Amino acid sequence: MHVDHLLQEGDSLPFASDLSVIHVPGHCAGQIAFHFKRGGGVLIPADTCVNFGRMKLPATAEDLAQARDSLRKLAAYEFEALCFMHGPPMLAGADRKFRAWVSTNP
């Protein structure tokens, strides 16, 4: 597979200037999440966490300490909606719920 452009922390995309790339290693080294500022904010956390009945860490991580650091990093962002890769989205007050969950995860 040929990669045209590697995304880096802080990059935005030409078709979505209000989208930010966030480097979130832990589950895997090169993992990235996306934050859209538009519409109250939307966070797509990649595989930093899942939402099956409740938020939790994914079943596997290359580096659990990094995975937890990445969650704390994402908790600093403002977003109304949280769209998980695995599980249903949270569509209202998601940043508050996410921060509360991150603060109670060791």
Is the pLDDT at 100 greater than 90? The verdict is yes
Cα separation, 16 vs 100, in Å, equals: 29
Cα separation, 15 vs 34, in Å, equals: 14
**52 token code pair:** 């099956």
Between 8 and 22, name the one with better pLDDT. 22
Banded pLDDT at 6 (limits 50, 70, 90): confident
**b/e map 21-51, b = 16+ CB within 10 Å:** bbbbbbbbeebbbbbbbeeebbbbbbbbbbb
Check: CB of residue 12 under 8 Å from CB of residue 20: yes
Banded pLDDT at 106 (limits 50, 70, 90): low
Is the pLDDT at 3 greater than 90? The verdict is no
Check: CB of residue 20 under 8 Å from CB of residue 34: yes
Is the pLDDT at 91 greater than 70? The verdict is yes
Mean pLDDT of 80-87: 96
Which CATH number is associated with domain 19-104?
A: 3.60.15.10
17-58: per-residue pLDDT in tens? 899 999 999 999 999 999 999 889 999 999 999 999 899 999
Domains in the chain: boundaries: 19-104
